[in-house]
Amino acid sequence: MEKKQQLYEGKAKKVYATSDPELVIVSYKDDATAFDGLKKGTIVGKGAVNNRMSNMMMKLLEKSGVPTHFVEELSDRETLVKKVSIVPLEVIIRNVSAGSFAKRYGVEEGIPFDEPTIEFSYKNDDLHDPLLNSYHALALHLATKEEIGTIKAYAFKVNEVLKAYFLSIGVKLIDFKLEFGRLKDGTIVLADEISPDTCRFWDAQTNEKLDKDRFRRDLGGVEDAYREIFQRVAGK
Ligand code: TMP
Ligand code: ASP
C-alpha cells in the first residue's frame, strides 16, 4: 500500500493517506511529551516498540471480540489501519491507584481496587483534556448514548483481556488510556495505540515501572524499560 500525503501529525505519530480512502498509514515517532507537551524529549526506539506492541495487542483483542482499526503491520514503525474519525474522549481504566487518581483523591499509589474504574477526559489540548462524565459527553455531543454504552463495554473487555495477558508475562496492568473511532458506516472500533506510552505496567514481583512514567518522572532507564516490556511481550 503506497504512502501518500501526510494528513496529520500528532505528538507521537504521523498519519498518511493511501490510495484507498478508507485506509491510512500510521507512522510512530520516537518523540515523547508529557504534561500537555510541556515536557519534551526523545525515547530512542520507542516508535518501533509502540508500533509492534500495539499491533500485537490489537490482534489479541480482535480475537477476543473487540473490533479494532488494525489492518497490517508494514514495517517496524508503520502500520496500515482503517481510517476513523476519533471520538474525542480519552477512556481511562484503572485497576490500581496511580497517577492523577492518587493525586486527585489523596491516596497512595499501588492500592488495588475491588473493581476496575472507568473515567473519561475530553480530548482537547487547549482545555488540557478535562475530566468529564458520560452526561457531560452527551451534553457536548461528543458521542451518542449508544456509542458511550458500546465504548464502556469494550473498554472493560479490553481490561479483562489485557490484565490476564500481562499477568501471564509477569506484569501488573495498573491503568491505561484508550481511544475509539467511528468507521465510515458509524461502527465503533478501538483506535490509537496500546503501548508503554498509554499504559502503566509494573513488574509483578518488584513493582518496577516499565512504562512512560520513567520519562514523565525522570526516573532514568527509559529506553531500557521500553525494551524490557517489549521483550516480554515478544516472548524473547
Ligand atoms: P493519569 O493517571 O495521568 O490520569 O493517567 C492514566 C493512564 O492514562 C496512564 O496509563 C497513562 C495514560 N495517559 C495517556 O495515555 N495520555 C495522557 O495524556 C495521560 C495524561 C495519561
Ligand atoms: N498526552 C501527554 C502530553 O501532553 C502525554 C502523557 O503524559 O502521556 O504530552
CATH number, domain with residue 229: 3.30.470.20
Max Cα distance, the chain (Å): 51
Distance from residue 30's CA to the centre of ligand 2 (Å): 14
Whether the per-residue pLDDT at 25 is higher than 90: the answer is yes
DSSP 161-222: HHHHHHHHTTEEEEEEEEEEEE-TT--EEEES--STTTEEEEETTT--B-STHHHHTT-S-H
Residue written as grid cell 489501519 = 81
Q: What range defines the domain where residue 68 resides?
A: 3-82
Task: Kindly list the protein residues whose Cβ atom lies closer than 6 A to any atom of ligand 2.
Answer: 11, 33-34, 36-37, 197, 212, 216
Residues 42 and 93 in one domain: no
> Based on the number of CB atoms within 10 Å of its own CB, is 67 exposed (0-12), middle (13-18) or buried (19 or more)?
middle
End-to-end CA distance of the chain: 30
Contacts 24+ apart (CB under 8 A), 103-106: none
The rounded Å distance from CA 165 to ligand 2 centre is: 25
Shared domain for 201 and 165, answered yes or no, is yes
CA angle centred on 89, ends 192 and 23, rounded to 5°: 35
Nearest Cα residue to 162 out of 123, 131, 201, 124: 201
> What is the position in ligand 1's atom list of the atom closest to the CA of 211?
10
Q: In this model, does residue 236 exceed pLDDT 80? A: no
Q: For residue 56, how many other CB atoms are within 10 A of its CB? A: 18
**What DSSP element (H or E) covers 75?**
none
- Tens of pLDDT, residue by residue over 162-201, are 999 999 999 999 999 999 999 999 999 999 999 999 999 9
121 and 206 in a single domain? The answer is yes
Atom 9 of ligand 2: nearest residue by CA position: 34
pLDDT tens digits, 123-140: 999 999 999 999 999 999
Mean pLDDT of the chain: 98
Q: State the distance from the centre of ligand 2 to the C-alpha of 5, rounded, in angstroms.
A: 26
pLDDT of residue 1: 81
Q: What is the CATH number of the domain that holds 70?
A: 3.30.200.20
Of 35, 51, 82, the one marking the end of a domain is 82
Distance (angstroms) between ligand 2 centre and the Cα of 90 equals: 12
- Confidence tier at 119 by pLDDT (50, 70, 90): very high
> Which residues are near ligand 1 (CB < 6 Å)?
92, 98-101, 175-177, 198-200
Q: Are residues 106 and 26 in the same domain?
A: no
What is the structure's pLDDT at 116? 98
Ligand showing the shortest atom-to-Cα distance for residue 39 = 2
Can you tell me the mean pLDDT for 67-92?
Answer: 98
C-alpha 1 – ligand 2 centre gap (Å): 31
Ligand nearest to the CA of residue 216, numbered in listed order:
2
CA 208 to chain CA centroid, nearest Å: 20
Quick one: average pLDDT of 56-74?
98
**Number of domains, the chain:** 2
The ligand that comes nearest to the alpha carbon of residue 126 is 2
Q: Which of these three, 27, 61, 82, is where a domain ends? A: 82
Domain's final residue, options 24, 47, 82: 82
